Structure 1
């Protein structure tokens, strides 16, 4: 039998934290290994309990979720922990910064339980999760302030790969991209893999940030 995915839940609101933990623990393939109410405790517990994924709030006392994410999943961190950020619409800017800090995805706090569980399983599997309904609002709203990190490597992409990258940045899933471009989902998965490899990106979240930082999406 496959061991359940080990989840650490971090949120400063006890009701939300308990609700998330109850939903997660009810699943046979998931197990809550710890709960905490601030980012510093999340970092300490994650290093001690070695969870597969941390469900992380953004605005918390002691250490906020962005700083905690950077310590757990940021560039150069040995044995990084996957982080799924949960937020509300009025925290868009904080979530964008959390994605840059290394988070593998984000969800809205009012997402239905099934979406939360899907998000945890998706991120734990090594994929990235973007909530399509807020991707454009989230990143697009701050695109004007995002400066390119250097000469873009997008020239290494074929025209079709650039098209797929722009659709990823629009928040489309593989199945939605396949429908738009009239391709099979397997073909889209191959394009996504090539894009990530060519641009040396970790996942779809970094692909979205890359696309906006380098002016590939307006």
Structure 2
């Protein structure tokens, strides 16, 4: 992998290397990869969620509908839908079932 501003001599060397079956990586890209690998893992999923999002997730794990979550928390159903969308995005999941599994792993299903 080369950056588009590579020097002509480096480009020629990369072409020869590719022809020989070698892989080439721009030093700047290599440094960024090493940095990314060396960084500690991201924060736990529960810490990425706001307190309200954690409440919503806990209620999802209990099988509550958006309407019931809204009643339980005293907020509009539209607000619940917004929170659910944020929860799904932050957890990187596609649906409520997957979110509920995360909640169980995080211990949020045991709420009061």
Q: Which residue of 1 aligns with 2:64?
A: 172
Tell me how far apart the structure 2 counterparts of residues 181 and 213 of structure 1 sit (CA, whole Å).
23
The answer to whether 1:162 aligns with 2:45 is: no
Tell me how far apart the structure 2 counterparts of residues 162 and 210 of structure 1 sit (CA, whole Å).
11
TM-superposed CA distance for 1:214, in Å, is 2.0
**CA deviation map 1:91-121 (0-9, x unaligned):** xxxxxxxxxxxxxxxxxxxxxxxxxxxxxxx
Tell me how far apart the structure 2 counterparts of residues 214 and 157 of structure 1 sit (CA, whole Å).
12
Q: Which residue of 2 aligns with 1:196?
A: 88
Gaps of 5+ in 2: 1-42
Q: Which residue of 2 aligns with 1:120?
A: none
Gaps of 5+ in 1: 1-150
Q: How does 1:63-142 map to 2 (within 5 A)?
A: none
Query: Which structure has the higher relative contact order (CA within 8 Å, separation 6+)?
Result: 2
TM-superposed CA distance for 1:193, in Å, is 0.1
TM-superposed CA distance for 1:171, in Å, is 0.5
Q: Which residue of 1 aligns with 2:45?
A: 153
Larger radius of gyration, structure 1 or 2?
A: 2
Task: Give TM-score, length-normalised by structure 2.
Answer: 0.58
Q: Is the 8 A contact 1:196 1:207 kept in 2?
A: yes
Task: Give 1 or 2: higher helix fraction.
Answer: 2
Task: Give 1 or 2: higher strand fraction.
Answer: 1
Q: Provide the alpha-carbon RMSD of the alignment.
A: 1.6
Task: Give TM-score, length-normalised by structure 1.
Answer: 0.30
